[in-house]
Amino acid sequence: MAQQKKQLTKEERERLLREIKPILDQVRDLQSTYEGDNHIWRALDNFRITDESTRLLYFHVIKDKLAHESKEQEAIDEARRELMMRDATRAEAHHRHLLGEDF
């Protein structure tokens, strides 16, 4: 019989993220140093998390958190690009108006 992975509630996930904040901070610091998910495993090693079920739980919670942050950052970057394009279009239209190129 396959073992079913327990889903954490939002409250449990938030509590766990608060508890492992030092690990998560180190994971972020190590991101540029290690490829793939190795930065997560390295941080777990550095904090001497040896219990396999705890390592897997922390790994998945951290990986989900980083993915969520990445999606949020992508949305922010996209909104920023849209605003820049809109501002550039307005500036160009204003410039054309000043030059008398309006039709």
What angle do helix axes 21-30 and 10-19 make, rounded to 10 degrees?
70
**Chain-centre distance of CA 7, in angstroms?**
20
Please report which confidence band the pLDDT of residue 102 belongs to, taking 50, 70 and 90 as the band edges. Answer: low
Predicted confidence (pLDDT) per residue in 51-91, tens digit? 999 999 999 999 999 999 999 999 999 999 999 999 999 99
pTM value surpassing 0.85:
no
